[in-house]
Amino acid sequence: MQKNITRTTLITSKRFLLLATAIAIALAGSFSISQGSSNAVTSAELRAQANALQAEIDANKARANELNGQAEGLQRHLAEIGLQIAQVNNQIRLTDIKIAQLQDELVKTQSELDRQKGLLKASMRTLYKKQGASTVELLVGSDTFSEFIDQQEYLERLKTNIQTSAKQVIALKSQIEQQQNEQKLLLESQKGQRQSLAAKENEQQVLLETTKGQAANYTAAAEELRKQQANINAQLLAASGGKADYTRTTSYPWANYEPWSFNGCTVDPWGMCVRQCVSYTAWKVAQSGRNMPNWGGYGNANQWDDNARAMGIPVDSSPRAGDVAVSNSGFYGHVMYVESVLQDGRIYVSQYNYELQGKYSEMTIAPGSLVFIHFP
């Protein structure tokens, strides 16, 4: 059953990758065509393309996470098989020891049987010599009649005891041989079990490597789509009249942390992934001495304005220094910190991860369709 399920998963995964690649190529083609004509694509169309790419990114991410989860399950199963193999190996070693002990007992029993046979032969020779003499000779050779009787009884008892002892040794030898044969059969069964587990372990290892490879493919596909999305965001940035300046610096405390990836991220005190726009903006608000709510578990940047309204925090289209500027464009949206409002109405902002690179930048842009949260 497991093989059939796995094969179906592999086929589905390949078809999904082909579909994702085809969509990405189609979107990339649309983007290239728009580059050839200066005004062929509007900002709304670019945002639609960015949203479509984001949907594909999320689908690839979900599939990668699913496959990684399967890989973790396979890894645990492999560990369990490894423990089973170790247990069988211990059982095999124990069985080998038992067989060796039985062999030692068998040698000792055979030695005792040989000794008993020797005693029996000596007794039989003595008895034969005695029985070879006439009753009169035995009687004459004895001092008393009772001595004659005792000698006869002794010889008979000796013969009977040795025969009985020899039979017991033979029975013991047969019992030991039977136990040894049983242990040998058990040993063969254990070796067969170990071989079966080793084959299963190899099969699971191959499946694990295949699953990890598929997860890596989906992750790579998502990263490629993110690059295309970054290009579209760059066009949107150009359309807003601004150009990000990456030469500026900031005291943001998580600037050297690893950025978000499909494997996870470091979470800041507000429940947000560091080196993301939301984390930086939350830090700026807190640095200004104002209260920054923990919105890490309440959606993306394009939900900040809704969260603020729900808490009674003013939100409008009039920017002020210290505001949080919210763009609801794109799948996740984007938030920036308003450093100042210029005389011509444009705003100067600081931000993180504008072009999905996990970097700090500053720029001057027109307020456009942005909304502004006035944190008290």
What is the number of other CB atoms lying within 10 angstroms of the CB of residue 33?
Answer: 11
What is the number of other CB atoms lying within 10 angstroms of the CB of residue 75?
Answer: 15
Residues 6+ apart with CB under 8 A from 37: none
Provide the pLDDT for residue 111. 85
Domain boundary assignment for the chain: 2-237, 243-373
List the structure tokens of 159.
Answer: 């013969």
Assess whether pLDDT exceeds 70 at residue 240.
no
Cα 23 from Cα 134, distance rounded (Å): 118
Q: Domain 2-237, what fold?
A: Helix Hairpins (1.10.287)
List the structure tokens of 226.
Answer: 């993110």
SS3 state of residue 362 = strand
List the structure tokens of 55.
Answer: 């949907």
Cα 315 from Cα 302, distance rounded (Å): 13
Residues 6+ apart with CB under 8 A from 281: 324, 335, 336, 337, 351, 352
Mean pLDDT over residues 228-241, rounded? 64
Quick: pLDDT tens for 186-234: 889 888 888 888 888 888 888 888 888 887 887 777 777 767 766 766 6
Cα 334 from Cα 305, distance rounded (Å): 11
Model-wide pTM > 0.75: no
Q: What is the CATH number of domain 243-373?
A: 3.90.1720.10
Quick: pLDDT tens for 336-367: 999 999 999 999 999 998 877 889 999 999 88
Range picked from 43-57, 69-83, 138-152, 330-344 for highest mean pLDDT: 330-344
Of 202, 206, 201, 203, nearest in space to 85 by CA:
201
Quick: pLDDT tens for 112-151: 878 877 776 776 666 656 555 555 555 555 555 565 556 6
* CA distances for 31 relative to 5, 179, 232, angstroms: 39, 80, 8
- Window from 173-177, 228-232, 233-237, 313-317 with minimum mean pLDDT: 233-237
Quick: pLDDT tens for 3-47: 333 333 433 444 444 444 444 433 333 333 333 334 456 766 776
Of 364, 367, 363, nearest in space to 248 by CA:
363
